[in-house]
Amino acid sequence: MPTKRLSRRTVLRGALASGAALAVPLPILDIMLNEKGTAFAQGGALPKRYCTWFFGNGIIPALWNPTATGTGSGWSLSPELAPLMSVKPWLTVVSGLKNMIGNASPHPMGSAASTTGGSVSNNSAELASIDQIVAGVNSGGSFPSLELGCSDATPNGPENTLHTCSHRGPNAPNYPEFDPHAAFTRMFMGASTNGNAAQMMKVNQSKKSILDAVLADGADVSALLGAQDKSRLSDHLDAIRQIETRLAAMGTTTSTIPIPTDPQTSGITRDTKSEAPMKVNDVMAQMLAVALASGITNNATFMFTLPAAHVYYRSISSDMNADFHDTIAHTDAGNNATTGYQTRYHTGVIYAMTALNTFASQLSTMTEGTGTVLDNTLIYVTSCTGWGKVHDTSE
């Protein structure tokens, strides 16, 4: 451990040619910690993070719930959880649950019940969602909470519980940001511009990378670090560089980061075909992982797909070119069993869990003190129904 100490609030600072100031948060480095690497040098505990990770249209319970083939760490992943093998040591599966609230249509009711513990009235969740309750006692960072998503493939119905699972209370939804460029601007550039549209336009018009603008400050900080911290700082900056590179390659003609207009319709890189593209999921997952690791926020919601989402997983194979909710989930032949099940529906669940694994794996590879960021993060994974074909309320 180095003898010098660095404040947890240290950021890399720089300025673009446009005059816009930038501040890039750092991950938790050993130089910020006590000698054992178990707490901050000033005595504060390492941060705890929370994320609700939501995917619409449910599962096949017989293929989701693990069977009793082992005890302790010896249990076996079920077929629909198989994509999570790399994070299995962190995984806990809770089954035997039942939604006892039945006074609303299935998908809004299921979304509200699984994330608020309550039901729906007047097209709104009646209670605050768990992410907002946690945010009230787990403060920290530039944002009390962040709400991001992969696809806003639109479900039927006006209920705000069909368009988000994050609620501050009745008629107070937090809608996710589905545009990767808008999310990047907000998380990594918004704080320094204080929401000033003209200033943000100057930032977006600059051809200079965010990281290029802070390299000099990064070199000064690096000079204070030990070998492990230097490697960790390099990995952190590389991750942000990868995000920038991905965004530049996802349909834009320059390296600028465009300002979003209407968050429901703008942005050429968002999912405009209701396909939940894995490339959108991956860059959003990487941004959220960096945000959690560097203290931009301690609390988040990630909507992979919305409740009752009319999404088309056509990128998987040609036979998946159908509405996953209306056609595949509700009309494909098959049962809730380990044989004779709905094969296309099962394929869609596997796809969603592959997307989840991207996010969880990012956190599991980010070192923090004597462990990883995933060690200090609770990810609550849920959907709006059990077996989607019959709107099952148990799993």
Which residue is it, tokens 């989402």? 309
Q: What are 387's two structure tokens?
A: 């077996």
Please, are residues 311 and 324 in contact by the beta-carbon 8 Å criterion?
yes
CA dihedral (82, 85, 88, 92) in degrees, to 10, reads -20
Task: Report the range of poorest mean pLDDT among 162-166, 197-201, 310-314, 323-327.
Answer: 197-201
Residue 250: pLDDT over 80:
no
Confidence tier at 328 by pLDDT (50, 70, 90): very high
- Residues 192-209: tens digit of each pLDDT: 334 444 544 444 444 446
Residue 135: pLDDT over 50:
yes
Beta-strand (E) ranges in 49-166?
A: 49-54, 120-121, 124-125, 146-149
List beta partners, residue 380.
52
> The whole model's pTM is what?
0.82
Task: Report the range of poorest mean pLDDT among 9-13, 321-325, 334-338.
Answer: 9-13
Task: Report the range of poorest mean pLDDT among 7-11, 268-272, 326-330, 356-360.
Answer: 7-11
* 3-class secondary structure, 147: strand
CA angle 267–176–198, rounded 5-degree value = 50
- Residues 10-60: tens digit of each pLDDT: 555 555 555 555 566 667 667 667 777 777 667 677 889 999 999 999 999
d(CA 300, CA 379): 9
- Residues 12-21: tens digit of each pLDDT: 555 555 555 5
Whole-number pLDDT of residue 368 = 85
* 3-class secondary structure, 154: coil
Q: Please give, one letter per residue, the 3-state secondary structure of 287-316.
A: HHHHHHHCCCECEEEEECCCCCCCCCCCCC
Whole-number pLDDT of residue 261 = 30
The residues spanned by each domain of the chain are: 11-390
- Residues 337-388: tens digit of each pLDDT: 999 999 999 999 999 999 999 999 999 998 888 889 999 999 999 999 999 9
Q: What are 127's two structure tokens?
A: 């209670």
Q: Is 199 exposed, middle or buried (0-12, 13-18, 19+ CB in 10 A)?
A: middle
**Positive or negative, the Cα torsion across 80, 85, 87, 88?**
positive
d(CA 71, CA 76): 9
Give me the mean pLDDT over the 123-135 stretch. 94
* 3-class secondary structure, 136: helix
- Of 277, 282, 271, 300, nearest to 357 by C-alpha is 282
Please, are residues 214 and 15 in contact by the beta-carbon 8 Å criterion?
no
List beta partners, residue 185.
none
Whole-number pLDDT of residue 231 = 79
d(CA 378, CA 301): 12
- Residues 212-242: tens digit of each pLDDT: 666 666 666 676 677 887 777 777 777 777 7
d(CA 307, CA 285): 19
Mean pLDDT (the chain, rounded):
81
Question: What letter does residue 389 receive in the DSSP assignment?
Answer: G
The amino acid sitting at 254 is T
- Residues 66-102: tens digit of each pLDDT: 876 666 777 889 999 999 999 999 999 988 888 887 6
